[in-house]
Structures are given as structure tokens and as C-alpha cells.
Structure 1
Amino acid sequence: MTGQRLNEFPLGAKMMLVAIGLAMLAGCATRPSPDVLNPVHLPVHLNASLQSDEAASSRVNVLAATNRNPDTARGGFGSAWADNLTYEQYAFSVPPNRKDTAITYPTSRPDPERQFAVIQRKQLPKDAFVEEALRSTQSDGTVGIFVHGYNYSYQEALFRTAQIAADANIPGSPILFSWPSAAAVAGYVADRDAALSSRSDLDSLVTSLSASGKVKRIILFGHSMGGFLVMETVRQLKLQHRDDVIDKLAVILAAPDIDIDVFRSQLKDIGRMPIPISLLVSKDDRALVASSFIAGERARVGRLDIDDPVIREAALKERLRVIDITSIQASDGLGHDRYASLAKFGAQLASFESGRRSSAGDVGAYVFDAAGAAVASPFRLAGRVVGSQ
């Protein structure tokens, strides 16, 4: 824009900007139906290979907890809020020659050479779900939870979690928490309400896992509006005086769609966490430009400019890690899904352009150099960054 604020435009121009913004935030061109959740039957030779010890890169397991209402007619989950959480366990067949973060959904005739596919699906009672999660805890006691953003269906969030797990070769089963997004371009305000209404359910999931002494660290990774839900959940835990839970949390927010003043208020209530919050930001994130327009041109946390001395000073003061990941190529054309590409970089921490490597105690503002750096995945990012704490 040329310095004009949104409220200076006539009504027609405002509506056009909002429409453009919502379209930019949409993120998904071809939307998969709940049919992709139905397990496929693979050829005998492929099914046998997935059971072998060498099949780690061809099969991934995902646990999912959702407060969406079950869609019994279609076999998936809708956008209405359920009274209780539903817990599921999935196994995926992963195509061997996929490109970066691309997800090709199964068709009526699944092709495991080109498409992700569900090969096992099972609903679990809560106790069995927690047992599976504990069984999947990494050797250092880490478990990871992914919270998706605006305009995601259950199946889209589930396949994205599988893609991240596959590209990062994550041991065990990452956990998806799927809240009742409307999965619609025009559902931005409804999604914000749904995210707020999901705080207690995410709180319940995190608290259930933290109760085990086997769990030493819970990586709570929120993307976009999912980052808003994560922060609200941590704030709720703090107001409940659940420091025993908070002490285990490693919070990572990727492209967080959070108003900066709201974020300041959340930080004030939460206080300094034992493990510093990590923010993955990009000042050229055009989806968050649209989000800012919709909110009356209020700045979003995911577009923080680390070249600004005020931002660098605030990161140190608030004990935050603000990492600019602009150098990572996005696949959505908007610069909003860079987090999904982190998995392909390998197992080391980022080699920042400042010449420093992040360690457990580092806070402040950094630049991620994709050309010479490596961060394994959203789940391993926190595990590596805070590994010695």
C-alpha cells in the first residue's frame, strides 16, 4: 500500500480488499474430501515392503486428537464443535519420489508411487491414545503436537502432519490437534471463534501427556491461527497455575496470525517460560498482509521485521527467539507455508547469517540461511534448540 490505511478507503474498496485478502489466505487449490481417510489396499509386494525394517521412509504413523464433530455419513470430521475429543491413529504410505512439501492425495485408484495414502486407521479411547503417545516418545522424552491454522479441513491437516513427519524422518508418531476450522475461504472470523473455543481441549491433551514422568518435553507447534490457539492455551494453563505443565512446553509459532498487541498481552500473562518461545517469521508473508487488512491493518506477529532495532530489543527483553525464515522457499506462492519445508534441511540447527549457531540459552533475533543451514523439522527444531535445557 502507499501509506493509506484501510479505513481511508471507500466501502467498495474495503470489501474488495477483504475479498482479495480472504482469497490469498485460502491456501489450498484442490480440496480433498473425507474419502482420502479411508484405508487403501496396497498390492501384496508393496504392503510387505512397508512392514520391513527398511520401510521407515515409506511409512509414517500419526496420532490425531480433534474436537470436530464426526461426519458419520462421509467418514470424516466436520466444522462444528463436538462435546468431546475424538482420538485416532493412522499409518500412511509415503510416495518415494515426492517433491519437497507437495502432497498428492489418493484418487479412486491409489498410486503409492505418486500419492500419500492412509493404509491403517483406528479410533482409540483416550487411555489407549495416551499410551500410544507415550510409546512414541522420543529417546530424550520429547513428544510433538502440531496445531494447524485457518482454512484447514481435518484431512488436510492430517496429511500435512504426515508430510512433515515423512520429510523429517521423525521417530515415533507426531500428534495432530485439529480444531473445528470451517475450511472455507469466508470462514476467517468463524475460525477465530473456533480456535478460541478449543483452548480447553488442547489444554486437556497437553495436560494428559505431561502427567507422565516419561514425557520431559512437549513441543507445541502452532502454524498461523493455530499459533493464536497455542498461545491462548498456554495463557490458560498459566492462569490455572499449571507451572508443572508449562515447564515441559517448548512453544514454536510459525507465521503466527496474532495481533502484536494481543501477543504482548499474552506474554504479560504467561511471563517468562523456562524454554523460550520461538517465532518463525517472514516479512514478505502475503497471507498475513491479507490478515492484517481484514483486521483493520493491525500488524501480525508473523511479519515481524528483525532488521528493526525495536524488534531485536523486544526479543531480548521478552526472552524470545525470533527467527527470520524468509530464505526458505514457500510452495503456496504466498510465503505462508515455509514451516512445512523445514523438514528437508536435515538434522542440524540453522547456521544463521550472523555467523552464530543457536544454543539452548540463545534469545534474540536471527536470520535462517537456507543455503547453508539445516533445521530438521518443526518438531525437531525445538528439540534441537532446547536440547540441553
Structure 2
Amino acid sequence: MARSKSARWRGAGSISAVFLTLTACGTGPEGVLAPIPANLVSPAASDVTMLVATSRKPSGDPATLFTGERSPALSLTDLTISIPPNRAPGTVEWPKKLPPDPRKDFAVVAAKNLSIPKAHKWLHSHNSNGRVLVFVHGFNNRYEDSVFRFAQFVHDSRAKVVPVLFTWPSRASVLGYNYDKESTNFSRTAFERTLKALADDRGVTDVTVMAHSMGTWLAMESLRQMALEDGRVSPKIRNVILASPDLDVDVFGRQWTELGPKKPKFTITVSRDDRALAVSRLIAGNVDRVGQADPSKEPYKSKLQAAGITVLDLTDVKTADRLNHSKFAESPEIVQLLGAQLASGQTLTDQRVGLGDELGLVVAGTVDTIGNAAASTVSAPIAAVEGNTNKPPPDDLETILKGDATTQ
């Protein structure tokens, strides 16, 4: 039945509420990337050094390094981030004023542009065990947002990996959803070439790709492009983690099929209370997003079998994120699970997670109650994922953001 005119106006009017809510989850001040003076470096802080590859346009300002605009040339940067002591795991401590105070703030202590040959030398000098973790951020991210979030994840996970960040051109505006989505398409070849360069390096033994939200589209498209060009995804890319994937389930099914018969091990985190994906679904014509799928119910339950994809249902995991969209990085237990296990060359199964208990017990330690889906992992094929859930989600943006209903 068609919606009334007043209902349509309420939905349109609440778009501003969407933008205000998403902006409220915003990030820190601008100009935080200029390295702090050596005399300010805190001996109590920890360091995370990463290689950053980007298809963004350089800003010409050492305090920001790159803009949200697109560049046809890939840029490479060596960054070292200082992580303050005595902070809660899962948090990014943005400086309230500049320069940052490394005793309590995240701060950049070194930044250096690299050529491709120098990037290979950097990789060899930082690679002790051959394992590389590549992270791709999501929608509405500045360059520094992705740098600090990845540094937080690497530090808190304690994963023994070489951290490589791929950051694509985002205008970091909630009004820029379509621009950001097209920027992921613009960046497909640059990211594919980054992955190939890592896989072709003689010192690299395995690569884990971890992507969040809209970044999962870029990851899947680049892996698909690699498979179509080379006949398969590089065997060195052994694990792919899709966190809160902002992917149309029908499109994901096609992408999965076109990766070919020899695929990496996939792990997907889902959360049915993800408000950001609820808004994305509304924008995308009410087609299910992979990150909101319920693997315990039809049509997914009967179709998600035998392909070996691990689905982690984080619906009952509680974090400070009001949109419930970044649980993969903000829950200390999930950070350690994803980082220490997958990024260290091991894989999750539906039997054990390697942290001493089954996944349900790990999740149970962070919440009061858990459902069957949250208490176990689900091995599943995505090749035949299709169709919508029986109960459509609310089409009123205000209802979605209030959290009065979740997709079933």
C-alpha cells in the first residue's frame, strides 16, 4: 500500500536527523598528521608503524597529507602513530588541541613519502614473519580517520602482522554517499595492484584483507577483478574479513561466484541492529545488506551451507557506537578474535576460536544475554544468496535511527 503524503514528508524531514546522527559520531580535529617534535614523544606510549597506500589527491599540507579528492596516481606513505597508555581498548583518543599530547592522545611521530622501490624495502625491513594485514576503511572517512582507526585495531589486536592501510577518496561527508561509492569504483584497479604487489613480494607468505562497511565493496570488486584477470585470487591472499559489509546480498552473491572455485577463507561480521546499514538499505531500495543478514533464518539459513564462510553475529555485542556499525573495532574481545586469529594466519571455525573458549563464551563475556546465532559461528556459502526477508524494514528514517525496529 502506498505511503501517505504526510508519511513521505516525515521520512524526508527526518533525513536531517540522519545526517545529524551520523555526524555526531564524527571524528577529531583537522591537521593532526604533522609529526610532533621529538621532545614531546612519550616513553610510556606504544607505536604502530604502517604503510599507507592511497588513491587520494595529495593536499600539499603535512598536517593533512591527503584530501578527499581522487588521484590517478597511487601514493605511498610510511607513518608511525603513537598510542597513549592507560586508554580503554577499542577507543581512539583524538587530541582536543594541537599539537597532540602523546601521554593521552593519538599522535603522529613520523611521516615519510615513499616511492614504490622504497615501499618494497620498507616491507622487507618490517616483515618478520611474512604476514600482512591490509585494511580498507568505510564511508565518511578522512585520511586521518582511517589511519587512527587502523592503528587502534592493530595495537589492540596485538596481531603479529605488517599493517598496510589502503585509503580511498572519501569526502568525509554524510551528504557524499554517492561520491564515496563512486570513489570505491574509481579505486578498484589501484587496490588490486596494491594486493598484487604484496602477493608478488618474495618476503610475503600470506595476506589478510580486512574491509569495513562501504570498503567491502572495494575489496570484493578488486578481488573479483583479480580473479577475472588472472583466473583466480592470489593464493597468498588467504583470509578476507568483511566487517559490517554494506553490500547488496544479490550483488555479493554474483561477486562471490565470479571469484572462482579457489577462494580465500571468508569471515563476515553481521549485526541486525546496525543503524547505518538500515539507512543504507533504505537508500538502496530496501534490498538486504549483507551486514544485517540473520544467518539463523530463511532464506539464508538453508542456502548458507557448505562453502566454509564464517559468519559472526555481533547483534548482542554492546559498544559505545550509537550506530552499532563499528563493533569489529570497538569490542575488545572481537578485536582480539579477528586480529590475533585471522591476521596471524589462523582461521576461525565453527568449533573453536583459539581464545580458550568457543565464540559464544567470548561474546557472552561482553553482554548479559546472547541468542543462538550470537553464540556460535555459522559456516555458510554465499553463492546462492538471493531474495529479501519476509518482513520489510521500516521505511521511516526516524524510526530506523531511534532503533525501534530491526530487520528480521
Q: Does TM-score exceed 0.5, indicating one fold?
A: yes
Give the residue type in structure 2 aligned to 1:126.
I
Give the residue type in structure 2 aligned to 1:132.
W
Q: CA deviation at 1:77?
A: 1.0
Preserved contact between residue 136 and residue 210 of structure 2 (Cα < 8 Å): yes
Preserved contact between residue 232 and residue 263 of structure 2 (Cα < 8 Å): no
Whether 1:370 and 2:349 are equivalent positions in the alignment is no
- 1:59–1:290 CA distance, 2 compared to 1 (3 A): same
Q: CA deviation at 1:160?
A: 0.7
2:388 aligns to what?
none
- 1:251–1:355 CA distance, 2 compared to 1 (3 A): closer
In the comparison of the two structures, how many residue pairs are matched?
Answer: 351
The 5 A counterparts of 1:1-389 are: 11-26=8-23, 28-33=25-30, 35-43=31-39, 46=41, 49=43, 58-73=46-61, 75-106=64-95, 107-139=97-129, 141-171=130-160, 173-243=162-232, 245-246=234-235, 248-343=237-332, 346=336, 356-358=351-353, 369-372=362-365
Give the residue type in structure 2 aligned to 1:58.
S
Q: CA deviation at 1:13?
A: 3.5
CA-to-partner distance for each residue in 1:359-386, whole Å, 9 max, x for gaps? 8xxxxxx86742349xxxxxxxxxxxxx
CA-to-partner distance for each residue in 1:168-211, whole Å, 9 max, x for gaps? 22335411100001100101111110011110000010000100
CA distance in 2, matches of 1:271, 1:36: 43
Preserved contact between residue 329 and residue 341 of structure 1 (Cα < 8 Å): no
Q: CA deviation at 1:317?
A: 4.3
Q: CA deviation at 1:213?
A: 2.9
CA distance in 1, matches of 2:281, 2:350: 33
Provide the alpha-carbon RMSD of the alignment.
2.9
CA distance in 2, matches of 1:265, 1:6: 32
Give identity over the alignment, percent. 30
CA-to-partner distance for each residue in 1:9-56, whole Å, 9 max, x for gaps? 8542442354444444446334431x1000002537x55x37xxxxxx
Give the residue type in structure 2 aligned to 1:183.
A
CA distance in 2, matches of 1:109, 1:246: 44
Structure 1 length as normaliser, TM-score? Answer: 0.81
Preserved contact between residue 64 and residue 88 of structure 1 (Cα < 8 Å): yes
CA distance in 1, matches of 2:303, 2:5: 30
1:382 aligns to what?
none
CA distance in 1, matches of 2:361, 2:315: 8
Stretches of structure 2 lacking an aligned partner (at least 5 in a row): 343-348, 367-408
Q: In structure 2, the residue corresponding to 1:240 is in which secondary structure?
A: helix
CA-to-partner distance for each residue in 1:331-376, whole Å, 9 max, x for gaps? 22111000113555646769xxx983158xxxxxx86742349xxx
Which moved further from structure 2: 7-16 or 146-155? Answer: 7-16
- 1:250–1:349 CA distance, 2 compared to 1 (3 A): closer
- 1:234–1:8 CA distance, 2 compared to 1 (3 A): farther
CA distance in 2, matches of 1:236, 1:343: 34
Q: CA deviation at 1:132?
A: 1.6
Stretches of structure 1 lacking an aligned partner (at least 5 in a row): 51-56, 360-365, 374-389
CA distance in 2, matches of 1:250, 1:19: 39
- 1:284–1:355 CA distance, 2 compared to 1 (3 A): same
Q: CA deviation at 1:215?
A: 1.5
Q: In structure 1, the residue corresponding to 2:109 is in which secondary structure?
A: strand
Structure 2 length as normaliser, TM-score? Answer: 0.78
